[in-house]
Structure 1
Amino acid sequence: MWVINICISLTLGTITYQDLTSRSVYWFLFPLLACLGCYYHFNRSGSTTVTLLFIGLNLIIISSVLLCVWMYSRIKLKRKLQDTFGLGDILFFTAMALCLPTPSFIITFCFSLILSLALHLVFTKEKSVPLAGFMSIHYISVYLIDLLGVYPNLFY
């Protein structure tokens, strides 16, 4: 399982590098991340039913977040969603929804958004945020902490 964990971390590292340097990420990295993460999640939980339930709940959470972003973009900013939020970010959210059980997903998702805001305010001068790249930094640390066994109940 540690090989899958390393592969997930390397995929997240590639997403980080590409998003921070060129502001575009190869599309195949998102399905790769989703497949690796879902496989890892399934093997750690040991139950197809539990894994599918968690994935469904995570996708509902992501859909709710994206609905709020869409409404804010339309009502407050008077812009299309594509002008305020990148497709790569949506694909990243969806991929990560497949990777963790719901309690862990909620906590890591919120903290990765907070970390992304802090990194953007401190390190970038641009108006746009490389959200998938910044969030990947946090998720790399989550998977490396799991690999080291510091927090053994991350997938239960």
Structure 2
Amino acid sequence: MVYEWVLYALIGIGALGYLQRTSWIVYGWNILINASVLLFIMGVLWGYSKWRMEIELAEGLGKGDVLFFIMMAVSFPNSSFLPLFVFSTLFSLLIFLVLKPSLTDNRVPLAGLQAGFLFIFLCVNLAFDIINVYAN
């Protein structure tokens, strides 16, 4: 668990960091596309949790997960957001499946694992200048 204010601060820092690298119009369109992707995913998750798992969405997806998704959506152009979101989700699934036998809680710490992936990716990218994550 993480304090909410940390995620709110990261949303602001990420948004300002990306906005400094692009124009308002490009930023707005990228955020609109990213938000649309997130809304679609949240809709699918809502339907899956309601009809397949028979639980409320809030039981299966925490507030920290949603705030982390928003942080990623406002911090990157869609050309970086989409691959980072997909690969961080796959990374989270893989790590959870590997660690599942030794865990006492059966819930996936999605935002934490995605944050770990993002941290590792950005550190490696900073050290070796692999790609420009802000290129459109």
Q: Provide the C-alpha distance between the structure 1 equivalents of 2:120 and 2:26, rounded to a whole number of angstroms.
A: 25
> What SS does structure 2 have at the residue aligned with 1:28?
helix
Report whether the alignment pairs 1:43 with 2:20. yes
Aligned length: 132
Tell me which residue corresponds to 2:118. 139
| Residue-by-residue CA offset, 1:44-68 (whole Å, 9 max, x unaligned) | 2x31111111111111111111110
Deviation, 1:147, is: 2.5
| Amino acid aligned to 2:10 | L
> What SS does structure 1 have at the residue aligned with 2:129?
coil
Q: Provide the C-alpha distance between the structure 1 equivalents of 2:90 and 2:31, rounded to a whole number of angstroms.
A: 22
Stretches of structure 1 that go unaligned for 5 or more consecutive residues are: 1-23
Q: Provide the C-alpha distance between the structure 2 equivalents of 1:49 and 1:104, rounded to a whole number of angstroms.
A: 17
Identity %: 29
| Amino acid aligned to 2:120 | S
Q: Provide the C-alpha distance between the structure 1 equivalents of 2:3 and 2:95, rounded to a whole number of angstroms.
A: 23
Q: Provide the C-alpha distance between the structure 1 equivalents of 2:14 and 2:128, rounded to a whole number of angstroms.
A: 17
Deviation, 1:129, is: 0.6
Stretches of structure 2 that go unaligned for 5 or more consecutive residues are: none
Q: How does 1:145-156 map to 2 (within 5 A)?
A: 145-148=124-127, 150-156=129-135
Structure scoring higher RCO (CA < 8 A, sep ≥ 6) equals 1
Provide TM-score, normalisation by structure 1. Answer: 0.79
Structure 1 stretches of 4+ moved >3 Å: none
Q: Provide the C-alpha distance between the structure 2 equivalents of 1:83 and 1:153, rounded to a whole number of angstroms.
A: 37
